Amino acid sequence: MKSDLESLRASEEKYYSIDSQFLTEGLRLVLLLPGFALLFLFGAWAYKGESPSWWLDNLEPTVNFDLSTCLTLISVTILSGFCVGLFLHRHRVRLTRMVFRAEVDAAAEAHRPVTSMHGYSSVDGLISRTMASHNTAIWMGYSATIIAIVVAYLDSDSTIGERGLLASASLITMSIGQHLSTRNRKFNMVSRDGLLTAYIPPLHPSTLDMAFNDMLRTQMDPLLRSTFEDFLVEFEDHSREDVVREFAREKFLMLMQRRFKGSIDRSTTTLELSEILTDEGVHKILEHPTFNEDLWDSLFNRSMDSYPAFYRLIERLEQDLGIGRKKEIDGLLFDVDLENVVTEKANLFCYFHNLSNKERQVVLRVHSPDFRPHDLSLRYNLPPGQKEWWSDEKVPISSDGDDDIIGRMSGLLQDGTLAWQTLLPEKTGEASVSIRLENTDGDLLVGRQINVRVRPEFVNWLRNTSSLTAYLIGGIGLAGAILLQILAVLSSA
């Protein structure tokens, strides 16, 4: 079983290299080739019936066919390359699906069932739908090539040849549209992060248990999330006995995020990890075969792009700690953030931390006429916090123990409460969100007004629009060619 999986992986890696460099990425031949084929088909249409004098006098006596036929044959040659490119791309996707399902079966044998995890059905369904789209595109390419070959053997001034050129060009246009519809979510099994773009994160809990852990798990596809569970078991096996498990995990992930940003170097990372891991554990975790630096960079890059408000809020808390900023509310830390530019949804993050030695209740009210829900009211019970996590004095970036910013931030996130609310935009343009923090008696503690801009995701919008436009134009052309041929048959009957 393992050797079969390794063989599949090797095959996928080989085809993926060709695909990424020449076909769908890099040169993008699956878009360039049909574009040139359409250009030559339109040229054949323009010169049907009569060739220009320079062709008649110099070339036609030698090749024995007119310019229109020559352009059609060139188009056939280009279409053959296009069909080969689509076939190779479809084969690569097929290998990806085989590797994916083999990995799922291997996880089930290792008592890590992936099929029951959230997101498996959507990822598997996306791969299958992509395969079906590629099958449709390749058959359109085959049909367009066959029709062009038939047209090349007909008289260039024949009416059936003219309709054949229209049908072939229409099928090529529809094939382009079919291919574009699969490019919004690219995936592969060559790299560990190859399924991240194919995975749609689930709805999150309104209150995060462990902030960094939950943020990264939200981004992970089912296979990677299953592997992450094994990584956490290994991480805890190497943790020091006197360190709280949740604290160690959050501090480690915060260190990886800081290393990704370039805020700390490798020596500082190793020094900080040695406070929560054994000496052997530091080496094994940093040199982990799966969760290596490249994978952490990919995860944090995607997470920071998807949820910039969370990381801005964390950075602001770190800056306040670094300069020893005074608390805005006596005995309570509160901060809120929302991304400046909203596309599909807005992610509102609110942080609370009770610095007193008594339980405290607060009410968070969110109001916006531009997002759903328009009004939101949530009550939070804030347990007594540990005052030593926050300091009114300057805190060093790194030092022995947990008195530095990294240690204190890990403690603040562990003892505090982080709320994550999803707001759905109802229109594009300028929008505003009002946030009020009150006590249970209705007295205002702090209020914020956040203005954002709502706009569609441009790249996906452009691909979807181009795909629909190509399909519409191609469909109209194909229907017109079929209708004209039917009318010609009926009139001659």
Q: Which two tokens stand for residue 139?
A: 């058959």
Q: How far apart are CA 424 and CA 426, in angstroms?
A: 7
Q: How far apart are CA 143 and CA 467, in angstroms?
A: 19
Q: Are 488 and 162 in contact (CB under 8 A)?
A: no
Give residue 21's Cα distance to chain centre.
20
Q: What is the pLDDT of residue 131?
A: 92
In the chain the domains, ranked by start, together with CATH numbers, are 2-194+461-492 (no CATH), 204-306 (no CATH), 326-455 (2.60.40.10)
Q: What is the pLDDT of residue 397?
A: 72
Please give the sequence-ordered ranges of beta strands (E in DSSP) within 182-271, or none if there are none. 207-208
Which ranges of 367-457 would DSSP assign to H, the alpha helix?
A: 405-415
Q: Which two tokens stand for residue 425?
A: 């935009």
Residue found under tokens 């995990």: 249
Instruction: Tell whether the torsion through CA atoms of 82, 84, 86 and 92 is positive or negative.
Output: negative
Q: Which two tokens stand for residue 411?
A: 């403690």
- State the Cα angle at 237 between 231 and 240, rounded to 5°: 125
Of 318, 274, 335, the closest CA to residue 406 belongs to 318
- State the Cα angle at 300 between 306 and 268, rounded to 5°: 145
Q: How far apart are CA 212 and CA 413, in angstroms?
A: 9
Print pLDDT tens along the chain (493 aa).
Answer: 457 888 999 999 999 999 999 999 888 999 999 999 999 999 999 888 778 888 887 887 888 888 888 999 999 999 999 999 999 999 999 999 999 999 999 888 888 888 888 888 889 999 999 999 999 999 999 999 999 999 988 876 788 888 999 999 999 999 999 999 888 888 999 999 999 988 888 766 678 888 899 899 988 999 999 999 999 999 999 999 888 888 899 999 999 998 998 888 888 889 889 989 999 999 999 999 999 999 999 999 999 999 999 999 999 988 888 777 777 677 788 999 999 999 888 999 999 988 888 888 999 999 999 999 899 999 999 888 765 677 777 777 777 766 778 888 888 888 888 999 989 999 889 999 999 999 888 889 899 999 999 998 888 888 889 999 999 999 999 999 999 888 888 887 6
Q: Are 42 and 169 in contact (CB under 8 A)?
A: yes
Of 366, 393, 390, 387, the closest CA to residue 377 belongs to 366
Q: How far apart are CA 114 and CA 109, in angstroms?
A: 11
Q: What is the pLDDT of residue 149?
A: 94
Which ranges of 353-457 would DSSP assign to H, the alpha helix?
A: 405-415
Q: What is the pLDDT of residue 489?
A: 84
Distances (CA, A) of 312 to 155, 176, 315: 68, 40, 5
SS3 454: strand
Of 412, 424, 335, the closest CA to residue 376 belongs to 424
SS3 357: coil
Distances (CA, A) of 302 to 123, 143, 255, 295, 298: 18, 40, 17, 11, 6
Q: How far apart are CA 298 and CA 146, in angstroms?
A: 44
Q: Are 324 and 395 in contact (CB under 8 A)?
A: yes
The kind and range of the H/E element at 479 are helix 458-492
Instruction: Name the residue type at position 233.
Output: V
Of 398, 394, 387, 456, the closest CA to residue 425 belongs to 456
Q: What is the pLDDT of residue 2?
A: 57
Question: What pairs with residue 376 in β-bridges?
Answer: 366
Residues 6+ apart with CB under 8 A from 239: 245, 248, 276, 277, 278, 281
